[in-house]
Structures are given as structure tokens and as C-alpha cells.
Structure 1
Amino acid sequence: MSAVSAPHSCRIALATLRRHLRRALGRDPSPLCRRVDRARSRLVVALLLACAGALALATAVGLLAAQHGQSTALRTARHRHQVAAVTVGPALPIGTASTAEATWTYPLSDRHRGLVVVPDDIPVGGTVAVWVDDLGLLAAPPRPSADIVADAVSLGLMTLAGVSLSAGALYTVRRRGLDHRAGESWESDWERVEPLWSGRARGRG
């Protein structure tokens, strides 16, 4: 789209929106404006409000999800501890990773043993960092902030898509009903409006 046509398209869109707003409020002075046209305009305004509401709701859901995820991650991080584990067996491939038998100490007097994920070339007696809980058992590491933000954004986008699609479906169904009603009432509406539009009503007066 050229730089000249873009502002022109925006002006057309704004003019169309203003016309829909006037019609929705019953302030369109045109004699050609029928009740079904006002209903269509109210439907357009309702769709725009629904989309704005969907955006606000999606933003709120995303922010709440991010806050909840961050607070949960902070609580979990208080009970996660990174310690050094020493391998006591060779690295064995399992799927796409390698594991080895290793031992570690946490708390200071408690010694633990288990399978940990290790680099493929780690020798026996090598050291690898592992995450454990307060009892010294292997545990998942705290969630990184990037993952929490990504999940919050995804949830917000899903909310936006769900509400917008629902509003769009309701709009389509309602619009088809109005179009059908407009087609059926066109002749009777034109018989009422045409004399005013053409000026014949004033001529007869």
C-alpha cells in the first residue's frame, strides 16, 4: 500500500466507524436509514467493543499468569539447592541424553546416590551440578523467568483468540439474520422511503 493511499484508507475507516456510531445511537438523519441498518450498526459497534474487551481481558489474564508464575517460582526456588555430584559410574546414553550414577551430599551430613544427567564425555569421578530439594533428593530446577513470561503470553493470546473468535462467530450469525431480514423487507421499506428520497412527497404536498 502506498504512503498516499494508507491515510486515505484510514480516513475512510474512521468515517465508516463514525457513521456506524451515529446509526447505533439513532442519530443518522438519512431517510434511507432503516431500522435494520441501525441494527447492523449496533452489531458492528458491539463487535468492536467485544474485541476491545477481549484485548483487555487477554492482557489481564497474561499479567495475572505472569505474577502467579513468578510467585510460584520464587517459592519453589527457596527449596531448591544446587550441589556438586561426583560420578561413580560411566555415562550411558538414554534417548537424547546421557546419565550416570553419581553421589552428592546435602545437607552437609547426608549422602545421596542416584542417576543424574551428565555430558556424554564425562569421566568416572567427574563433577556435575545437580538441583536437589531440602531433603537432598533430586528435583527440577527453578523455572527461568523467560519460560514464565512465554507461558503468560501464550495464555493471553489464547484468551484473546478464544473470545475474539466467539465474538466473530456470534457477529456472523447475527449479521446473516439481519441481511435475511433486510432482503425480505426491502420492497416495503423502499416504498416508504422512496418518496422522501426522490422528493415526490414534497411535490404532492
Structure 2
Amino acid sequence: MARTRGECPRRVRFWRWRRNPLRRRSDVIEAWLLLTTLVLGIVLGGFGALAAAGAVDDSLAERRASSREVRAVLTEDAARALPAPAPESGDTRVWTKVRWTAPDGTGRTGRARADADAEAGSAVTVWTDREGRLVSEPPGGAEARFQTLMAGATVAATAGGMALLAAWVLRTRLLRRRAAEWETEWRLVEPAWRKRMTG
């Protein structure tokens, strides 16, 4: 079937894998490089994502296991505490002095967040480690899942990006080598070609 004017030639897919007179050794190497990059990107990204997500999940589970909720009592009015955060943060609580009892029965003091209108003697919930020191509340539920997913996605993207970067470097070297081969072959063909065109 004749091609009409303006029609684009049909693109031949997977031409590097098929035998044809225009295929060079560098074309075959490039095809294998692209396939290897795809497989490595998927495998490394998948395993890396699973490993990172598992490590973060284990770390968060350990934090939850090693911390506990404790009832603490304000030792001062929250209004006399440190200045409240900027309203844009959405958190109206302030850092105020609190007292709680450690697992060994000793009294401890420190600073924790409380509502800005809380008075001395009011109860607040704080989180402590096994020794009774104040710690931040361990993430749980949706926040823990988000952190786990973000760790997995970050490692997957990094592993895939490294595979792509390595492939890009190797492909650039292949393209330079191919250009040098063409230059060498053109030097051999060009005199005969010029003679035919001018003769």
C-alpha cells in the first residue's frame, strides 16, 4: 500500500531486538541496557521500599512499646507559662511546668503542652519512656501509616533514580562511541560517495 503525502512512516517497535542490516552491536547493547535498567529499577525499588517501610514500622512499634501515657499535674497556671505559639500554627497550647511520677515512684518535673487557660493543679497527659523521662507522643494510626508509606516511597524513588542515572551515564557513553564509529566509517565511505556524486 502506497503511503499518501504527509503521512508519517510506520514506527517499527523493538527494532533493536530484530535482525536487520542497520542494527549495530551498540544497538543490541543499548537494548539490553534499557531492559536491565527497567528490571533493576523495579526490583531494587520494590525490595528497597519493603525494607524501608518494614524498618520504619518496626521503629515506630518499638517507640510505642517503650513509651506510656502518664497523668501529670500543672505546677503553674498556663497563662504564666512561655509565650503561646503564633496563631497560624493552629495549636493554642503553651509549654508549661508539670509534675508526674516515674515508674520507680520518684517525682519528676518538666515542661509539657497544656491549654492556654489551664490552671495550676489541672491534669494533662504526657508520654514518658521506661525511665520516666518525657518523650514525644509516638505516632500511631494514620500518622504511623503515612510515615511508613513515605519512607517506602522515598527509598523506591531513590533506588529507581539511581538505576536511571547509571543507565543514562552508560547510554551517553554508548552514544559517543556510536558517533565515533559513524565518523570512522564515513571517512572510509566519503571519498567514494563524493566521487559518485560529482562524477
Q: Which residue type is aligned with residue 136 of structure 1?
A: G
Q: Are 1:16 and 2:5 an aligned pair?
A: no
Aligned with 2:36 (options 25, 42, 49): 49
Question: C-alpha separation between the residues in 1 aligned to 2:106 and 2:150?
Answer: 37
> In structure 1, what is the equivalent of residue 197 of structure 2?
none
Runs ≥4 residues deviating over 4 A? 94-97, 187-191
Question: C-alpha separation between the residues in 1 aligned to 2:166 and 2:183?
Answer: 26
For the 8 Å contact 1:103–1:111, the answer to whether it is kept is: yes
Q: Which residue type is aligned with residue 181 of structure 2?
A: R
Question: C-alpha separation between the residues in 2 aligned to 1:186 and 1:119?
Answer: 81
How many percent identity over aligned positions? 21
For structure 2, which runs of at least 5 residues remain unmatched after alignment? 1-9, 87-92, 192-199
Distance change >3 Å, CA 190–CA 82, structure 1 → 2 = farther
Q: Cα deviations across residues 143-174 of structure 1 (Å, max 9, x unaligned)?
A: 42321221221122112112211211221122
For the 8 Å contact 1:93–1:120, the answer to whether it is kept is: no
Aligned with 1:59 (options 28, 46, 63): 46
Secondary structure of 1:104's counterpart equals: strand
Give 1:108 shift. 7.5
For the 8 Å contact 1:21–1:42, the answer to whether it is kept is: no
Question: C-alpha separation between the residues in 2 aligned to 1:109 and 1:173?
Answer: 69
RMSD of equivalent CA atoms: 2.7
Question: C-alpha separation between the residues in 1 aligned to 2:184 and 2:53?
Answer: 52
For the 8 Å contact 2:84–2:116, the answer to whether it is kept is: no
Normalized against structure 2, the TM-score is what?
A: 0.72
Give 1:190 shift. 9.1
> In structure 2, what is the equivalent of residue 180 of structure 1?
180
Farther off after superposition, 77-86 or 88-97: 88-97
Aligned residues: 169
Higher helix share: 1
Distance change >3 Å, CA 122–CA 187, structure 1 → 2 = same
Aligned with 1:118 (options 109, 114, 120): 114
> In structure 2, what is the equivalent of residue 68 of structure 1?
55
Q: Which residue type is aligned with residue 106 of structure 1?
A: A
Q: Are 1:128 and 2:124 an aligned pair?
A: yes
Give 1:119 shift. 3.4
Q: Report 1:75-114 matches (<5 A).
A: 75-89=62-76, 90=78, 91-93=81-83, 98-107=94-103, 109-114=105-110
For structure 1, which runs of at least 5 residues remain unmatched after alignment? 1-10, 23-27, 192-205
Normalized against structure 1, the TM-score is what?
A: 0.70
Farther off after superposition, 171-180 or 54-63: 171-180
